[in-house]
Structure formats: C-alpha cells, structure tokens
C-alpha cells in the first residue's frame, strides 16, 4: 500500500497537528475526524467541505479502511455473522456480529493472535503475531456499522431490519485487550466519543484474563466500560493449566485486585466461565467457585458452553451439568446466566475461522 498513514490511527488532536504540519488550518483536522467517525466515509473525496487539493493529498498519502474481507459466513438462524479480514501487512483477524432481540453486538479483536496460550482457545493455539493499531480496532466496528446503517436488506443472511446501528461492543475477540492497552483504550474512546460515533461506554464490555497492573490502570480511567474476567477455573492448580498467565497472577491476587477495582469504580464485575466437560464443571468446582467469588460485590457469572476446535480434547459440558453448576452458584447468591451458543456451525469461537481457512476440509464444512 503506497499510502503510509492510516487516518483512523489518529486522535482528533493528532489530526489537527497533522493538518498544521501540512500548512492547513487546525480545524481541518476536526472536520476530517467527524467524517471518519460520524459519517464513516472510506474515501477522502467524500469529505466535501475540504478543499480539493487537501482531498487529493489525503487520497495519495493516507488510507481509511485497513480491512480486506476474505470470508464472511452467517449461521443458519440468521443471528450471527463472522468475518475474516486481511490487514495491509497480510495478517488476518476475525470480527463477529451477533443479533440478540434489539441488540446488535460486535465482538472485536485487539491483537493478531494471542500470547496467553489458553489450550482450549484456537487463537491461543496460534500464538501472538502483533498488536493491532487503534485504527485497526476501530475499523472493525465501522465495518459492521456501515452495513447496519444501509437501508437495503440482504436477500439472504442475517435477519435484521435496517437501517439500524451497533448497540453494544464486546472486546472479546482475538487477543488480550489489556496487553494492548493504549491502542485499545484510544479505540474505545473514539467509539464512545459523544460528538461522533457516540456509543455509550456502558455498552462496551472489555474482557481480560486478569492482568492485574492493567486492571488497576483501568480503574483510574474516566471511561466507564464494563469489565469481564475470563476465569474458567476456581483453583490455581486448574487455572494454571487452562489460563497460563495465572502462574504470574494467582487467583487470590486477582480477586484482591478486583475488590480494589470495585471500591474505586463502584462497577459490577462479570466472570466468564467456559464450561468444559469433565474438566471444570463438577459440583465441587461450582462450590469452590462460589467461595472464591464471595468477596466480590454483586459478582455475576456468565457460563459459556465451549465452542470446541476440531479435534480438541476440550469439549462442551452437557446441558445438565451447566444447569447443575448454575443452581449451585445461585444458591450461594451469585447471579448467573448461561450464554447462548452462537455460531457453532460457522466456527464463531475466537480464532476458529482464521484457523479453518488453513484447513480446507474444515472450511468446506463451514461453507456448506
């Protein structure tokens, strides 16, 4: 790509500085920022209140959309769409749009791959390639927002009345968001900017495996996003195997950090618990989890029947085991929901579609 500047990487203030360095009035940066984040243009020629010479320079030296669609698949119920994108350097990432009644939720990625190494996760199995830039994170939301804003409906695919817009964002795609802290926070601030994209920060949920220093930093931010912790085990012995970062940030330290987070922010913390048959779904483990979360005020547990990767020894718990586990937590006073399994047939679990394009037999099954 000949253009070297991804405009979505720039904050409003940085665009003003760029325009000043180009000999333009600083307010041109504000105008460009509005075109990018409010009107979601992808071509500088659409920025009609800019001088022609400036639009031409933007077209020759910058670009707006870093995403090239490789593959897009919808589930049979018309509720989930998963897209695999190629970035300018050839790296690939996944993004998912999920429809829940009146909610249109986009699940976004923050890294190419992931360095945490959870053995049940397709992304973790592939390792970390690099962090995404702020603009590469923002572009994922913009992609589906443009589609939702369009008035015409697909002849087949997702069942949704348009025009509409994204209502929720979950930062639960590829990567550990807090390991790419600055870029992730810049992207979320742009999405929550009340003057442009204007999605409420309270409709954004950020998921982490529990990087304690970054949780402490997040508590100091004035951006009230919701925090979810990928827990998956009630003991250090098991969590060390399922979430290897636990060897550095043991469960007692993590729970203590989350208590401090609540004291600082007064926000509820959600815990994600992927239910794996015969591994973490016993009655004893449910009771241990209830004890572990006792210090957390208004803790909420989201039980997630696992979306397995092909050939993996990690398989989803039975419905009976999930309900039994849920009942034990609720008897302990912990509110619990069971997440609907979405997009199993289209490999909607994190990293699965990206993995599948490297396995033709799996990809053929998905497309059929």
* pLDDT score at 151: 78
Helix axes 12-21, 27-37, angle to 10 degrees: 130
Give the per-residue pLDDT at 342: 54
With beta carbons less than 8 A apart as the criterion, state whether 285 and 258 touch. no
Tokens in use for 101? 């009644």
Q: Where in the chain is the domain with CATH 1.10.150.530?
A: 5-63
Active-site residue, selected from the candidate residues 107, 118, 121, 350: 350
Q: Does pTM top 0.85 for this prediction?
A: yes
Largest Cα–Cα separation, the chain: 69
Q: Which of 196, 211, 163 is nearest to 36 (CA)?
A: 196
Query: Is-contact 276 317, C-beta < 8 A?
Result: yes
368 among known catalytic residues: no
Spatial strand order in the sheet of 226-230: 68-74, 80-86, 92-100, 103-107, 168-171, 204-208, 226-230, 269-275, 300-305, 335-338
Q: Which CATH code for domain 5-63? A: 1.10.150.530
Domain 68-367 has CATH 3.20.20.70: yes
CA distances from 49 to 22, 30, 55 (A): 17, 12, 10
Per the CB < 8 A criterion, the answer to whether 233 and 261 are in contact is no
Q: What is the pLDDT along the chain (368 residues), one digit of tens a residue?
A: 456 899 999 999 999 999 999 999 999 999 999 999 999 999 999 999 999 999 999 999 999 999 999 999 999 889 999 999 999 999 999 999 999 889 999 999 999 999 999 999 988 888 999 999 999 999 999 999 999 999 775 556 788 889 999 999 999 999 999 999 999 999 999 999 999 999 999 999 999 999 999 999 999 999 999 999 999 999 999 999 999 999 999 999 999 999 999 999 999 999 999 999 999 999 999 999 999 999 999 999 999 999 888 888 999 999 999 999 999 999 999 999 998 765 455 454 555 665 655 544 434 433 44
Residues 169, 204: Cα–Cα separation, whole Å:
5
- Stretch(es) of the chain classified as CATH 3.20.20.70: 68-367
Residue 350 annotated to the active site:
yes
CA separation for the pair 181, 214 (Å, rounded): 8
Long-range contacts, 96-101 (Cβ 8 Å, 24+) = 96/173, 96/343, 96/348, 97/144, 97/147, 97/158, 98/342, 98/343, 99/158, 99/159, 99/160, 100/340
Identify the pLDDT of residue 161.
87
> Do the Cβ atoms of 105 and 80 come closer than 8 Å?
no
Catalytic residue among 94, 136, 145, 176: 94
């Amino acid at each position: 790509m000949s253009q070297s500047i991804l405009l979505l990487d720039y904050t409003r203030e940085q665009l003003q500085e760029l325009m000043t360095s180009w000999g333009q009035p600083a307010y041109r940066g504000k105008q460009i920022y509005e075109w990018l984040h409010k009107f979601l243009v992808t071509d500088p020629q659409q920025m009609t209140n800019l001088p022609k010479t400036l639009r031409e320079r933007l077209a020759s030296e910058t670009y707006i959309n870093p995403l090239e669609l490789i593959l897009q698949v919808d589930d049979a119920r018309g509720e989930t769409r998963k897209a695999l994108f190629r970035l300018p350097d050839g790296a690939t990432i996944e993004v998912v749009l999920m429809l829940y009644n009146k909610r249109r939720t986009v699940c976004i990625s923050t890294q190419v791959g992931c360095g945490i190494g959870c053995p049940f996760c397709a992304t973790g199995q592939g390792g970390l390639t690099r962090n995404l830039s702020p603009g590469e994170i923002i572009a994922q939301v913009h992609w589906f927002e443009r589609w939702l804003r369009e008035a015409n409906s697909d002849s087949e695919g997702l069942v949704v009345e348009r025009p509409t817009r994204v209502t929720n964002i979950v930062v639960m795609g590829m990567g550990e968001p807090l390991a790419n802290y600055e870029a992730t926070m810049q992207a979320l601030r742009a999405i929550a900017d009340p003057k442009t994209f204007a999605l409420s920060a309270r409709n954004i949920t950020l998921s982490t495996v529990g990087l304690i220093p970054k949780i402490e930093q997040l508590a100091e931010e004035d951006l009230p996003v919701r925090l979810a912790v990928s827990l998956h085990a009630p003991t250090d012995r098991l969590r060390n195997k399922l979430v290897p970062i636990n060897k550095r940030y043991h469960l007692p330290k993590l729970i203590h950090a989350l208590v401090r987070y609540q004291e600082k922010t007064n926000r509820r913390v959600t815990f994600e618990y992927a239910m794996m048959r015969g591994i973490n779904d016993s009655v004893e483990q449910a009771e241990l989890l209830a004890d572990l979360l006792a210090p957390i005020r208004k803790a909420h547990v989201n039980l997630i029947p696992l979306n397995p990767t092909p050939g993996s020894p990690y398989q989803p718990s039975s419905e009976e085991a999930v309900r039994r586990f849920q009942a034990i937590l609720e008897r302990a006073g912990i509110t619990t929901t069971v997440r609907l399994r979405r997009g199993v047939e289209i490999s909607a679990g994190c990293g699965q579609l990206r993995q599948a394009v490297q396995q033709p037999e799996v990809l053929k099954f998905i497309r059929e």
